């Protein structure tokens, strides 16, 4: 039976690292972090025959050359990347979890002979993501760049995009990004699932109990306490305080930091509801959830 690589696909700030740690805390699984960030970003999307060069280091070892999992990973051709990682992880590991998020990375591994790819679409409430993008894209130059991207993606709505408030541009970006993931998974014909950030954090055990058998493994209660496990791979520098708290952190800062008028308009947005209806999600007081 083939081993499995699960790719978590999402926008930024959707909880992919937390999700990967939960999955990778299974005794027969390994969390890798963002594998695409262990290789040079300029190579993402290039032909699989190209070699890759390391840019990020293992969080535990602090140096990939000292890491039994990622040593000389920059010398491994992309087609051999996950088979090599399986070999290094040991014979007991049946599942690798890659939280690289980007479709441009995952699409390179759709047709594989050495392992079975799975794709999980992790989706977070647009109100939370719009709040984060207000912070990330705070300069006029950054905001204009995001507006130009939407003009390119939606040329038929140029008149609206040119005069829209900035939060509307971010909402368009949220819809575009999540539609891209939905359509990619559908087109691959590979196994795919959708999980919401709200359900993952608030109903963690139930979510994992439903998800793990689909991934070929039975849920283990110790997965919930992911901070008790050692995880190699990438990690955000500011993530330690969450792990050290010994619990899940449900980020609802958008409820107090996003202007109420923006919250209301996002919740009522027609395009948001069209997309959510298509994927079977509802938008509630705490975020997106399965209907």
Give per-residue pLDDT as tens, 201-241: 999 999 999 999 999 999 999 999 998 998 888 876 666 65
Across 63-77, 153-167, 254-268, least confident range: 63-77
Q: Please, are residues 127 and 266 in contact by the beta-carbon 8 Å criterion?
A: yes
Alpha carbon distance 180, 242 (integer Å): 30
* Alpha helices, DSSP H, located in 137-165: 140-153, 158-163
Q: Which residue has the tokens 């591994």?
A: 109
Mean pLDDT of 148-158: 95
**Sequence-distant (≥ 6) Cβ neighbours of residue 25 within 8 angstroms:** 31, 220, 222, 223, 225, 226, 228, 229, 231
- Look up the CATH superfamily of 3-125+179-244: P-loop containing nucleotide triphosphate hydrolases (3.40.50.300)
**Sequence-distant (≥ 6) Cβ neighbours of residue 284 within 8 angstroms:** 198
Across 65-74, 165-174, 181-190, 194-203, least confident range: 65-74
* Domain extents in the chain: 3-125+179-244, 126-178+255-290
168: helix, strand or coil: helix
pLDDT at 262 over 50: yes
| C-beta neighbour count of 221 within 10 angstroms | 9
Report the pLDDT value the prediction gives residue 40, as an integer from 0 to 100. 56
Going by C-alpha positions, the residue among 57, 75, 79, 74 that lies closest to residue 66 is 57
Q: What are 99-112's pLDDT values in tens digits?
A: 999 999 999 999 88
Alpha carbon distance 103, 152 (integer Å): 19
Across 62-71, 158-167, 187-196, 230-239, least confident range: 230-239
Alpha carbon distance 245, 226 (integer Å): 11
Q: What are 37-68's pLDDT values in tens digits?
A: 887 543 344 444 444 444 578 878 878 888 98
Structure tokens at 136: 């990330």
Higher local confidence (pLDDT), 41 or 200: 200
């Amino acid at each position: 039976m083939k081993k499995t690589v699960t790719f978590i696909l999402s926008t930024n700030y959707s909880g992919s690292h937390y999700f990967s740690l939960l999955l990778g805390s299974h005794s027969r699984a390994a969390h890798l972090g963002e594998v695409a960030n262990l290789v040079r970003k300029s190579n993402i999307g290039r032909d699989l025959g190209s070699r890759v060069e390391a840019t990020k280091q293992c969080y535990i070892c602090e140096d990939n050359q000292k890491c039994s999992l990622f040593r000389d990973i920059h010398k491994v051709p992309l087609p051999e990347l996950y088979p090599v990682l399986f070999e290094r992880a040991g014979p007991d590991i049946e599942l690798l979890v890659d939280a690289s998020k980007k479709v441009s990375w995952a699409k390179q591994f759709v047709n594989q002979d050495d392992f079975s790819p799975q794709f999980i679409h992790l989706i977070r409430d647009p109100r939370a993501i719009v709040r984060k993008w207000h912070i990330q894209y705070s300069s006029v130059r950054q905001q204009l760049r995001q507006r130009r991207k939407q003009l390119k993606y939606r040329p038929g709505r140029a008149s609206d995009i040119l005069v829209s408030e900035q939060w509307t541009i971010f909402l368009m970006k949220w819809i575009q990004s999540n539609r891209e993931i939905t359509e990619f998974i559908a087109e691959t014909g590979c196994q795919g699932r959708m999980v919401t950030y709200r359900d993952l954090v608030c109903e963690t055990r139930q979510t994992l109990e439903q998800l793990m058998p689909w991934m070929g493994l039975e849920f283990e209660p110790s997965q919930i306490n992911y901070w008790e496990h050692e995880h190699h791979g990438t990690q955000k520098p500011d993530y330690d305080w969450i792990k050290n708290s010994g619990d899940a952190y449900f980020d609802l800062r958008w409820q107090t930091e996003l202007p109420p008028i923006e919250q209301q308009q996002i919740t009522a947005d027609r395009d948001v509801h069209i997309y959510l209806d298509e994927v079977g999600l509802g938008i509630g007081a705490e975020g997106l959830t399965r209907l």
